[in-house]
Copies of this chain bind each other. A is one copy, B any other.
């Protein structure tokens, strides 16, 4: 890329960031220099979004900028970490000033709101893709891991499940939605809410947590396997929005909620004794949540309805 084009991009990113006091040196030297809080742990996560794989070529660039950061922040939320810094590697086939400007607006909408500072990165010429590395900080004694669930713990999720996946079906043209529902669902798909405050509150209360990116069935299996438990889900308790229920059959709604992915809600486990603390903590952060099941002896994940086991065939779920 010629220098002038680099300068253009730098202007849209370098000049817009605000300055955290713990950023000693930002863009413009060989490395960024950062000052972590003594005795805290760093939480680090990397995500890549590739055009044509993770998003459509015609995705609104503002949405792409916001979402690329929000989904990575969701990983910090699942660790109970407080966001600090982010590096952005942006690979672009060409410099389209309007596109870069809108992408940058969306990116900084999330960065400013969640008080995370862009501290460096790389701009390259090539097929469109975005790689972010976010860093947060968390107390040494208060990590929210995947392997801490105990037999008897309740399984809970924040927000609703399946809305983002229904929006994706609409983008694929596989479902027709009324305009109002489509707009509301697309907003959830493009502008997910990383549950950062909820994660920080749950840090001292929950026994395990994960963020829901691949779909509850797949993500909760990680908690079950790493905690040596079986997750038993009451499918009648799954939190489904009115918009989802209005526009799908019951089976479709379940499929989207369990396997659709991209919810970016938190799934966590908590001992029955601590459930009251969860209710009080999440009320303070204005985060809706429900209990959807319990950890039992066994492995993997199983489903029930009206206290009867259900055999759900996820293979049949592969296409809408």
Contacts and interface: CB of A to CB of B under 8 A. Distances in A.
A53 B87 contact: no
Contacts of A54: 124
A54 B123 CA distance: 12
A73 to B, nearest CB: 11
B127 A48 contact: no
Copies assembled:
2
B48 A140 contact: no
Interface string A30-61: 11111110110111111110111110000000
Interface stretch (A131-139, A153-161, A289-297): A131-139
B33 A42 contact: yes
Interface string A108-130: 00000000000111101111010
A46 B122 contact: yes
A34 B143 CA distance: 11
A85 B124 contact: no
A129 B91 contact: yes
Interface string A186-202: 00000000000000000
Contacts of A166: none
A168 interface: no
A50 B211 contact: no
A81 interface: yes
Contacts of A34: 41-44
Interface string A8-43: 000000000000000011001111111110110111
Contact of A79 (B31, B35, B91): B31
For chain A, give the interface size range: 35 or more
A238 interface: no
A87 B133 contact: yes
A63 interface: no
Main secondary structure of the interface of A (DSSP, over half): strand
Contact of A45 (B47, B51, B120, B138): B120
B38 A39 contact: yes
A100 interface: no
A316 to B, nearest CB: 17
A54 B34 CA distance: 28
A146 B32 CA distance: 12
A163 interface: no
A44 B91 contact: no
Nearest to A45: B31
A131 to B, nearest CB: 4
B119 A48 contact: no
9 contacts: A29-B79, A31-B45, A31-B81, A33-B42, A36-B42, A44-B87, A44-B135, A47-B89, A127-B129
Interface of A: 24-25, 28-36, 38-39, 41-48, 50-54, 75-76, 78-79, 81, 85, 87-89, 91, 119-122, 124-127, 129, 131, 133, 135-136, 138, 140, 143, 145-146, 209-211, 226
Given A31-B75, A33-B138, A44-B120, 12 more contacts: A29-B79, A30-B210, A31-B81, A34-B44, A36-B36, A36-B42, A46-B88, A46-B120, A46-B121, A48-B126, A50-B125, A51-B126
